[in-house]
Structure 1
């Protein structure tokens, strides 16, 4: 039986969606069935054997769609393997050290008994939505700090854990 994985994400400008799509692609290459979907569009998680949820970080908070996803599906998530990821630092720090989840996400991880969390670098480029994003870009602090090799390694580790515990 193939393990079916939902990779739900909350994003404002699309970079977290690209990370989620990369995660789903690696899971599929590792023999699982996975699909990346916006967190707000996932109505039910009962048909999935495992769930990965990602959210962009904005002003020290996880993306609202990702937070709402965890609240909306908390009962179903509590009985499934669950991994979480954040994206956001606009500097190389996510690749240099482990960045723990923000406080609200850490509480959710404990409540839901999540298998793990990782923070990946973020991406903010010209044309981004939001006043704060535009100010960051204007001040020259934008850029793409996502490390897709690291994202792939983490995704393979998630796949390995799912395959070996299935």
Structure 2
């Protein structure tokens, strides 16, 4: 395998996006990639990684602040390695039914970094999600866990295949 060590970083407020990142990391490891999963807020240097998968939860059409700041802090290093971005957020099955394009801020980050790809996954808002708005929505039947493990794993397998193909498949 050309690339061996991949960082899977995430910006997550209530844990759903962290769960997606863990699933990606687990799948990459199953495919023989050394994957390290860390919160985006903890990332100050990506130079020891051969590739980076960075995700953030969507709130009111904006990517999680930790993910945005991670991009700003590490933009130069990220632009020199393969990068994949993901978002989580729709609290319905729309992310399973069709490709949801990145929100404007994420699309700009993709361009700035030369990211290979972006994927939007369903999010989760359950009775365990803190906050008055979340509790009210769940109480009125508008919540649920819409993260699709098969979809997440398929995308992670795709990343592993892309890494195996080497840098010539880049950008």
TM-score, L = length of structure 1: 0.95
Query: How far apart, in 2, do the equivalents of 1:2 and 1:98 lie?
Result: 27
CA displacement, residues 69-115 of structure 1 (integer Å, 9 cap, x when unaligned): 11110010000100011111011100000000001110110111000
Looking at structure 1, the residues matched to 53 and 61 of structure 2 have their Cα atoms a distance apart, in angstroms, of 20
Alignment correspondent of 1:144: 145
Is the CA contact 2:44–2:70 (under 8 Å) kept in the aligned structure 1? no
Q: Confirm or deny: 8 A CA contact 2:28 2:156 kept in the other structure.
A: yes
> Post-superposition, which runs of at least 4 consecutive aligned residues in structure 1 deviate over 4 A?
none
Contact 2:53-2:84 at 8 Å conserved across structures: yes
Root mean square deviation, CA, Å: 1.2
Corresponding residue for residue 159 of structure 1 = 160
Aligned to 2:38: 37
Contact 2:10 2:17 in 1 (8 A): yes
Structure 1 residue 139: Cα displacement:
2.7
Tell whether the 8 Å contact from 2:3 to 2:50 is kept in structure 1 after alignment.
no
Q: Does 1:134 align with 2:121?
A: no
Q: Offset at 1:2?
A: 5.6
Q: Distance in 2 between matches of 1:146 and 1:64?
A: 21
Contact between 1:4 and 1:33, CA under 8 Å: does it hold in 2? Answer: yes
Contact 2:3 2:51 in 1 (8 A): no
Q: How does 1:12-23 map to 2 (within 5 A)?
A: 12-23=13-24
Comparing 129-138 and 90-99, the one that deviates more: 129-138
Paired with 2:35 and 2:49, the residues of 1 have a C-alpha distance of 9
Contact 1:87 1:122 in 2 (8 A): yes
In the alignment, structure 1 segments of 5+ residues that lack a partner are none
Instruction: Report the Cα distance in structure 1 between the residues aligned to 2:29 and 2:5, rounded to whole angstroms.
Output: 9
Query: Where does structure 2 lack aligned partners over 5 or more consecutive residues?
Result: none
Q: How many residues align?
A: 166
Partner of 1:84: 85
